């Protein structure tokens, strides 16, 4: 892929794993995950090796006992939510195919309009402003701006972008843990006049205790991302007054089962959610779209993972873009799979 820079890393290729889980009835389910080492602590190599063990654990077991299957993976090797999410996705795809339903209906959802943002990685203020202008000229209405390298420069980045695109487009910012507490205070106060919709993860997770104080000093809503891996994290952050919003990602939560628990906990506490991803192809992205349609408290969509410089599209079927609105397939299951011609060139293992 084209190099993509955030506060903690530059990714030059997407570290993705694709799996299929087969049954003796001839049905299979497909799943994908995307490792992002600087955020989740997993790599493509660790995911691939652990996937072999996970597959062995599941041999001969009931694939429709979703919770039981996922508990067995967590008991074997706690953590590693990214590779767990691929197995969770494959089981959900398989179960929905068995039921003859698209995944969003299998999960109890219905159609809704979903418009994604488009993300601009960190560069010079001038380059980021030009990129923003190009995006707006292509019909993008919501920009997500990566920040976190340097507080004063980040303010300049946003100033230039807002000047370049005018008052109409929505702007979201994401520091990816890059700021110190003083930097976060200063930068957010300086950006207050630029109509920022919200700020994701301003500081390191070790500084979560300072988030309530930060919220008192800014009018920009704070969204928890790297601080919120699971339901317990979300509840802790909300009840301590640490965030206004929560970003759900399958690579952090370990899959759809835990993602829905996070969603439900946030809905009960009246905290809206966003659904996002790492660098998944349209395969994983399609599953995210299904999940978003089944979650009424997901009201923000950061579903541009395959638009961030991927040079190859390995997917068959799957999500389509109408401009920057998402169209989800109605075939049973996820409705997306990988091209066998693409997989033929990949390292693979069968258990």
The residue annotated as part of the active site, out of 88, 154, 225, 226, is 225
Selecting among 144, 249, 258, 302, the annotated active-site residue is 249
- Tokens for 17? 């794993």
Q: Which of 88, 93, 174, 183 is catalytic?
A: 174
Task: Give me 258's structure tokens.
Answer: 């835990």
146 is catalytic: yes
From the list 107, 126, 119, the residue with the least C-alpha distance to 174 is 119
> Which of the following is catalytic: 42, 88, 154, 200?
200
Contact criterion met (CB below 8 Å) for 139 and 321:
no
User: Exposed, middle or buried by CB within 10 Å (0-12, 13-18, 19+), for 285?
Assistant: buried
Helices 256-268, 231-239: axis angle to 10 degrees equals 20
Q: Which tokens in the block code for residue 264?
A: 């439900």
Among residues 19, 42, 44, which one has the least CA distance to residue 31?
Answer: 19
- Any bridge partners for residue 300, and if so which? 274
Let me know if 249 is a catalytic residue.
Answer: yes
Beta-bridge mates of residue 312: none
Residues 6 or more apart whose CB falls under 8 angstroms from that of 113 comprise 325
Q: Would residue 200 show up in a list of annotated catalytic residues for this protein? A: yes
Q: In this structure, what token pair is assigned to residue 133?
A: 């202008």
52 assigned to active site: no
Name residues whose C-beta falls within 8 Å of residue 127's C-beta, 6 or more positions apart in sequence.
Answer: none
Q: For residues 327 and 290, give the distance between their C-alpha atoms in angstroms, rounded to a whole number.
A: 10
Among the listed residues 32, 144, 146, 302, the single catalytic one is 146
**Which of the residues are catalytic?**
146, 174, 200, 225, 249
């Amino acid at each position: 892929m084209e190099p993509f820079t955030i506060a903690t890393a530059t990714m030059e290729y997407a570290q993705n794993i694709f799996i299929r889980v087969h049954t003796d009835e001839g049905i299979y389910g497909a799943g994908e995950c995307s490792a992002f080492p600087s955020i989740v602590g997993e790599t493509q190599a660790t995911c691939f090796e652990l996937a072999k063990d996970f597959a062995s654990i599941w041999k001969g077991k009931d694939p429709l006992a979703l919770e039981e299957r996922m508990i067995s993976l967590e008991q074997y090797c706690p953590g590693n939510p990214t590779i767990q999410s691929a197995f969770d996705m494959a089981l959900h795809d398989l179960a929905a195919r068995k039921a003859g339903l698209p995944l969003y209906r299998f999960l109890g959802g219905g159609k809704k309009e979903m418009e994604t943002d488009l993300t601009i990685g960190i560069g010079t203020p001038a380059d980021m402003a030009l990129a923003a202008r190009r995006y707006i000229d292509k019909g993008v209405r919501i920009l997500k701006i990566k920040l976190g390298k340097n507080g004063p420069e980040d303010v300049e980045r946003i100033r230039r972008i807002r000047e370049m695109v005018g008052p109409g487009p929505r702007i979201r910012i994401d520091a990816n843990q890059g700021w110190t507490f003083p930097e976060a205070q200063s930068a957010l106060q300086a950006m207050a006049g630029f109509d920022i919709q919200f700020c994701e993860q301003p500081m390191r997770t070790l500084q979560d205790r300072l988030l309530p104080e930060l919220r008192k000093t800014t009018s920009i809503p704070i969204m928890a991302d790297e601080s919120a891996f699971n339901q317990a994290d979300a509840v802790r952050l909300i009840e301590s007054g640490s965030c206004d919003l929560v970003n759900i990602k399958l690579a952090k939560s370990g899959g759809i089962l835990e993602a829905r628990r996070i969603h439900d906990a946030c809905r009960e506490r009246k905290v809206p959610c966003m659904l996002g991803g790492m660098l998944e192809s349209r395969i994983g992205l399609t599953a995210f779209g299904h999940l978003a349609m089944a979650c009424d408290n997901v009201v923000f969509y950061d579903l541009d993972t395959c638009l961030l410089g991927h040079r190859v599209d390995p997917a068959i079927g799957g999500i389509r873009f109408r401009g920057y609105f998402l169209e989800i397939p109605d075939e049973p299951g996820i409705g997306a799979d990988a091209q066998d011609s693409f997989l033929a060139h990949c390292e693979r293992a069968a258990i």
